[in-house]
Chains A and B, each alone.
Chain A
Amino acid sequence: MTPAGVQEAVDAAFRGEWGRVLATLIRRTGDWDLAEECAQEAFAEALRRWPLDGVPERPGAWLSTVAGNRAIDRLRRRVRERELMDAVGREQMTESGAGEVISEPPEESGEIPDDRLRLIFTCCHPALPMEGRVALTLRTLAGLTTAEISRAFLVPEATMAKRLTRTKAKIAAAGIPYRVPPAHLLPERLAGVLAVLYLMFNEGYSASSGPDLIRAGLCGEAIRLARGLRQLMPQEPEVTGALALMLLHHARLDGRVGAEGELIPLEEQDRGRWDAGEIGEGLSLLDGALRRRAVGPYQLQAAIAACHARAARAADTDWREIAGLYALLERLMPSPVVLLNRAVAVAMSGDVEAGLALVDELSAGGRLERYHLLEATRADLLRRRGDHPAAAAAYERALGLAPSSAERLYLLRRLREVRDAEQP
Chain B
Amino acid sequence: MNYLLFICSGGDYSADDVELLQRECPRWVEEMDGRGVRLLGRQLDDPETAVTVRVRDGETLLSDGPFAESKEFVAGFDVLRCQDLDEAIEVAAKHPVSWFREIEIRPFREGLEVGEEALAFGRGEDAGADPYCLMLCLDGIPAAPEVEESVMREGRAWSEDLRARGVQVLAHPLQHKDAATTVRVRGGETLVSDGPFVETKEFIGGIAFIRCAGRQAAIEIAAAHPLARHHMVEVRPFLTE
Give the chain B neighbours of A127 by CB distance below 8 A: 85, 89, 181, 192-194
A169 in contact with B89 given A127-B192, A127-B194, A174-B107 (CB within 8 Å): no
Give A176 to B85 CA distance when docked, in angstroms: 5
Within 8 A of A (CB), among B163-217: 175-176, 178-181, 190, 192-195
B157 close to chain A: CB less than 8 A: no
> Size band of the B side of the interface?
20 to 34
Give A331 Cβ to nearest chain B Cβ, in Å.
Answer: 15
Query: Which A residues touch B69, using CB under 8 A?
Result: none
Asked whether B84 is an interface residue with its Cβ less than 8 Å from the other chain, the reply is yes
Whether the pair A175, B194 counts as a contact (CB closer than 8 A) is no
Are B1 and A175 interface neighbours, CB within 8 A? Answer: yes
Given contact pairs A128-B194, A129-B194, A173 touches B107 in the complex (Cβ within 8 A): yes
Encoded as 1 (CB less than 8 Å from any B CB) or 0, chain A from 173 to 200 comes to: 1111100010001001000000000000
How many angstroms between the C-alpha atoms of A418 and B1 in the bound complex?
65
Q: How far is the CA of A152 from the CA of B146 in the complex (A)?
A: 40
A126 to B181, CA, bound (A): 9
Contact of B84 among A129, A169, A177 (CB under 8 A): A177
Q: Judge whether B70 is part of the interface by a CB distance below 8 angstroms.
A: no
> A170: CB under 8 A from chain B?
yes
The reply to whether B179 and A169 form a contact with Cβ atoms under 8 Å apart is yes
A169–B176 CA distance with the chains assembled, in angstroms: 10
Q: Identify which of B3, B86, B88, B107 gathers the most chain A CB atoms within 10 Å of its CB.
A: B86
Whether B83 is near chain A, meaning CB under 8 Å from some CB there, is yes
Contact B85 A174 (CB under 8 A): yes
Within the complex, the shortest CB–CB distance from A32 to chain B, in Å, comes to 15
Asked if B178 and A175 make an inter-chain contact with CB atoms under 8 angstroms apart, the answer reads: no
Decide: A174 near B181, CB < 8 A? Known: A126-B192, A127-B194: yes
With A174-B175, A176-B85 given, name 20 new contacts (CB 8 A). Answer: A127-B89, A128-B194, A129-B195, A132-B194, A169-B179, A173-B175, A173-B176, A173-B179, A174-B85, A174-B105, A174-B179, A174-B180, A174-B181, A175-B82, A175-B84, A176-B84, A177-B83, A177-B84, A177-B85, A188-B190
C-alpha spacing A170/B178, complex, angstroms:
7
Residue of A nearest to B190 (CB): A188
Closest CB-CB distance, A31 to chain B, in whole Å? 16
Q: List 5 A-B contacts (CB under 8 A).
A: A125-B85, A166-B178, A169-B179, A170-B179, A188-B190
- Residues from chain A with Cβ under 8 Å of B3 in the complex: 175
Residues of chain A with a CB closer than 8 A to B195's CB: 129
Binding site for A on B (CB under 8 A): 1, 3, 82-86, 88-89, 105, 107, 175-176, 178-181, 190, 192-195
Main SS of chain A's interface residues? loop
Interface centre among B176, B179, B180, B193 (most CB of A within 10 A): B179
Bound complex: CA of A127 vs CA of B85, how far in Å? 9
Report how far A181 CA is from B85 CA in the complex, Å.
Answer: 12
List of B residues within 8 angstroms of A174 by Cβ = 85, 105, 107, 175, 179-181
Cβ–Cβ < 8 Å partners of A166 in chain B = 178
Residues of A contacting B175 in the complex (Cβ-Cβ under 8 angstroms): 173-174
Among B3, B89, B190, max chain A CB count under 10 A is at B89
CA distance A367 to B15 in the complex (A): 31
A177–B240 CA distance with the chains assembled, in angstroms? 37
Give the docked Cα–Cα distance between A420 and B126 (Å): 84
Main secondary structure of the interface of B (DSSP, over half): mixed
A177 to B88, CA, bound (A): 11
10 closest Cβ contacts across the A-B interface?
A173-B179, A126-B192, A177-B84, A127-B181, A175-B1, A129-B194, A174-B179, A173-B175, A175-B85, A175-B84
User: Who on chain A is nearest to B109 by CB?
Assistant: A173
A380 CB, nearest partner CB in chain B, Å: 34
Give Cα A176–Cα B83 distance, bound, in whole angstroms.
Answer: 10
- Minimum distance in angstroms from A327 CB to a CB of chain B: 21
With contact pairs A127-B181, A173-B107, A175-B107 given, residues A185 and B86 touching in the complex (Cβ less than 8 Å):
yes
Q: How far is the CA of A359 from the CA of B29 in the complex (A)?
A: 49
Q: With both chains docked as a complex, state the minimum distance between the C-beta of B5 and any C-beta of chain A, in angstroms.
A: 13
Q: Bound complex: CA of A128 vs CA of B179, how far in Å?
A: 9
Q: In the complex, A283 Cα to B90 Cα: how many Å?
A: 39
Q: Give the chain B neighbours of A177 by CB distance below 8 A.
A: 83-86
Task: Give bound CA distance, A170 to B194, whole Å.
Answer: 9
Mark interface residues in A300-327 (1 if CB within 8 Å of B CB, else 0).
0000000000000000000000000000
* A74 vs B179: C-alpha distance when bound (angstroms): 27
Point out the residues of chain B lying under 8 angstroms from A185, CB to CB: 86
Whether the pair A169, B178 counts as a contact (CB closer than 8 A) is yes
Chain B: minimal CB distance from A183 (Å)? 13
Tell me the smallest distance from the CB of B34 to a CB of chain A, in Å. Answer: 20
How far does the Cβ of B74 sit from chain A's closest Cβ, in whole Å?
19
Residue of B nearest to A166 (CB): B178
CB distance from B6 to the nearest CB of A (A): 14
Query: For B84, what are the chain A residues with a Cβ–Cβ distance below 8 Å?
Result: 175-177
Closest residue on chain A to residue B105 by CB atoms = A174
CB nearest to B84 among chain A residues: A177
Q: Could you say which residues of chain B place their CB within 8 Å of the CB of A181? A: 86
Query: Chain A 122-163, CB within 8 Å of chain B: the 1/0 string?
Result: 000111110010000000000000000000000000000000
Q: How far is the CB of A261 from chain B (nearest CB, A)?
A: 36
Shortest B87–chain A CB gap in Å is 9
Q: How far is the CB of B90 from chain A (nearest CB, A)?
A: 9
- CA of A128 to CA of B182, assembled, Å: 11
Of residues A166, A174, A176, A188, which shows the largest number of chain B Cβ atoms within 10 Å of its Cβ? A174
Q: Give chain B residues whose Cβ lies under 8 Å from the Cβ of A188.
A: 190
B4 CB to closest chain A CB (Å) equals 12
